[in-house]
Structure 1
Amino acid sequence: MHQSERAVFDLRRGLPVLIRAADGDRVAYPVERGSALLDALEPAEDAALALVLRRPRLAALGLPADDDARLPARLRGPIARDRLAAWATGDGRPADDAFGPLEPAGSADRAALALMRRARLIPAAITGPVTPELEALAERGPLLRVEATEAADCADQAADRVRRVSEAPVPLADAPDSRFVLFREADGLREHIAVVIGQPESWPDPVPVRLHSACLTGDLFGSLRCDCGEQLRNAVATIARLGGGVLLYLDQEGRGIGLANKLRAYTLQDAGHDTVDADGLLGFHHDERRFASAASMLESVGVKRCRLLTNNPSKIEALTAHGIEVHAREAVYGRLTEQNRRYLSAKAERSGHLLDDVLDAES
């Protein structure tokens, strides 16, 4: 995984990477960055550069596809690349003469998208053939080379493996007898915290558990666009009241798309899209989170059977699939506000969250 981990950091810095694949090598570049190195991608023939997009983004553009796909680009030069980036993230369909016919994504293209997702960049890539200039760069060292099979697996494998790193008592206002246990993912990019409330030997059976995805805007700043901060504090208080248990604070901002993309999605929501469609316009599925690491964290702190505090049936399914018995479910709500009503309604109607009680109470 070492080369893939390096590739993630290079892409975040705005550097291209060379992806080796049995069906053709490609150089991949994040659409949200600009660099003079990309000039070496300029080929002589048309349609050698391509914009690679995920299926949700293609559907949002009115280009239905069964899988991720490649749009050969007919425009070249710095201005064209800026337009490519805009078309990968904007709210409109590009001009008909901008691209050639839709093509299936190759192995290198799919690997590029996996790397972008792991890097929490816009999940879209500009890819092109390996020119002699780029090959020379790669031989001298600056251009990283990575195998497509390794890159395609990097996001899933790294996110699923965590290591227990450190811990300390951290008294909380609603749960003074609390301990924070920090876990780090395999590639070191993300860290998660298990908040152990009360003494494990005194926990009820099943153990009260909450999986809480980080929300900087709601948890820390009290944003009215969501109910996350109140859910977090209510969950801590509920676990303490029930006799103790565990709250996992997971680095999965914006249902796994990261803070930068979450703010982009907010802008699209302000333009009239709901939370699901906004994520789709950026190229994300309605929920990009994974919970294998959560199951590993629970096992590490001694939980194999839980009473899950959630409104999301998908979390029950995920923990069950990874060997944690979910014996019961308990709802955990925040306040319904004028600003978060549309967001919560979309979660209920389109993502299956169990929010009838809170939505009906204010109707």
Structure 2
Amino acid sequence: MHQVERAIFDLRRGLPVLLMAGESRVLVQALEGAAEAAVARLGELAGTSPALVLSRHRLATLGAGEGGTAARLPLPAGRVRRRLECLAYGATPAASLGEAGLDECRSALEGAEPADLAALALMRRALLIPSALVARVDASRGEAVQAAVADGTLLAVKAEQAARCLDGAGGLLRRVSEARIPLADADECRFILFREPDGLREHVAVVIGDPPLEAPEAAVPLRLHSACLTGDLFGSLRCDCGEQLRNAVAEIEALGGGVLLYLAQEGRGIGLANKLRAYTLQDSGLDTLDADQVLGFGEDERRYGVAVDMLDALGIRRVQLMTNNPLKMAALAEGGIEVVERQALYGSLNDHNHRYLSAKADRAGHLLDEVFRARR
């Protein structure tokens, strides 16, 4: 297993990781799940006071994002973990700095260093809150830290490698297994599972009917569907994902066959735990995009390079794309897939998902006019 993937697992377990950037050595730990004693040990091991790295999205929420980039916030003595959590992803962002007792630190924000940005990339890849505790290793602690690396109690990773962990499979996606699985709306279906090279994500290509795979001139009906446990499996009314999934299968079947890519990108790429946190924020009045920003994420954290790799593996170069999202069209085109035609794909509008769909249409550019017109 590569060092970066091991680092992600250690961070998810609440363990620190050493990032190496040139001559600099920085200890990194996820704030999420870190015990109070573990936070204290980070500073003791490094020999310096920890800082909290916040994403540009979280900083903007706190009214401290003038630089438009991530930043590190030196932490005063006597910090309390609950206050740090409030600062990193508190549900009352306007008051977070004051509530955490860190108003005086606003002017102390420092520009993020390469290791800090690499730390945030690791947190995103690990589906953790995108903030990180970091502590520069003092020269006086260098030998002790190196000894911890040597005996295997501390993992060391190059910052430049960690920073690339969000870049995707890079053409190394592995086709693992497949089986025929008849569906209620499409009797002839084949599920093909692909695994990313780091082993952290698995995606499924659902081949419906008998589409013209590996026929360069054919435009294959295609749906890119990001996994949604709450909508796809439980029929949540907060979104229209489940309806879109079933409608896509039925429509592809009606067209004589095509492909549905079921992508492990829960919550627009932030993961199930963070999606549930975002739902709680939405219940307090935020829309879906603002809720994600409060947690430190962008409007859409998904990357579609893996979808391009799956299509390449299936021999598909031209598609008839079922989507309301222009970003998906652009991502496929950037990956060398020709989108011959866009076909709208709608779910139903209800009292629970109205604000969600409105935000996607008004702020994220999704093409949903027909959905709202039908409700009038």
User: What secondary structure does 1:156 align onto?
Assistant: coil
Does the Cα contact within 8 Å between 1:192 and 1:251 map onto a contact in 2? yes
In structure 2, do the counterparts of structure 1 residues 134 and 97 end up closer, same or farther at CA, with 3 Å as the change threshold? farther
1:252-275 Cα shifts (integer Å, max 9, x gaps): 000000000000110111111111
Partner of 1:2: 2
User: What secondary structure does 2:279 align onto?
Assistant: helix
The one-letter code matched in structure 1 to 2:274 is N
Partner of 1:112: 119
Distance 2:44 2:148 in 1: 16
Distance 1:109 1:83 in 2: 21
The CA RMSD measured in Å over matched residues stands at 2.1
Partner of 2:30: 30
1:153 aligns with 2:164: yes
Name the TM-score, length of structure 2 as normaliser: 0.91
In structure 2, do the counterparts of structure 1 residues 47 and 103 end up closer, same or farther at CA, with 3 Å as the change threshold? farther
Does the Cα contact within 8 Å between 2:168 and 2:306 map onto a contact in 1? no
1:2-27 Cα shifts (integer Å, max 9, x gaps): 11110000001110101111262211
1:22-63 Cα shifts (integer Å, max 9, x gaps): 262211111112243432333699983211011111001101
1:160-186 Cα shifts (integer Å, max 9, x gaps): 642111111010111101000000011
* Residues 1-363 of structure 1 mapped to structure 2, 5 A cutoff: 2-22=2-22, 24-35=24-35, 36-42=37-43, 48-64=49-65, 65-76=67-78, 80-90=80-90, 91-92=92-93, 93-95=96-98, 96-97=103-104, 101-130=108-137, 132=141, 134-158=145-169, 161-201=172-212, 205-363=218-376
Distance 1:263 1:347 in 2: 18
Does the Cα contact within 8 Å between 1:47 and 1:72 map onto a contact in 2? no
Does the Cα contact within 8 Å between 1:47 and 1:74 map onto a contact in 2? no
The one-letter code matched in structure 1 to 2:113 is G
Does the Cα contact within 8 Å between 1:17 and 1:145 map onto a contact in 2? yes
Give the deviation of 1:81 after TM superposition. 2.6
Distance 2:305 2:69 in 1: 24
Distance 1:2 1:300 in 2: 24
Does the Cα contact within 8 Å between 1:164 and 1:183 map onto a contact in 2? yes
The one-letter code matched in structure 2 to 1:166 is S
Does the Cα contact within 8 Å between 1:72 and 1:99 map onto a contact in 2? no
Does the Cα contact within 8 Å between 1:50 and 1:126 map onto a contact in 2? yes
Which moved further from structure 2: 95-104 or 187-196? 95-104
1:266-309 Cα shifts (integer Å, max 9, x gaps): 01111111111011111111011111110111122221111000
Which moved further from structure 2: 164-173 or 40-49? 40-49
Give the deviation of 1:337 after TM superposition. 0.6
The one-letter code matched in structure 1 to 2:55 is R
Distance 2:263 2:231 in 1: 14
Does the Cα contact within 8 Å between 1:224 and 1:337 map onto a contact in 2? yes
Give the deviation of 1:67 after TM superposition. 1.1
Distance 2:125 2:15 in 1: 15
Give the deviation of 1:229 after TM superposition. 0.1
Distance 1:45 1:237 in 2: 57
The one-letter code matched in structure 2 to 1:75 is A
In structure 2, do the counterparts of structure 1 residues 288 and 255 end up closer, same or farther at CA, with 3 Å as the change threshold? same
Q: Give the number of equivalent residue pairs.
A: 361
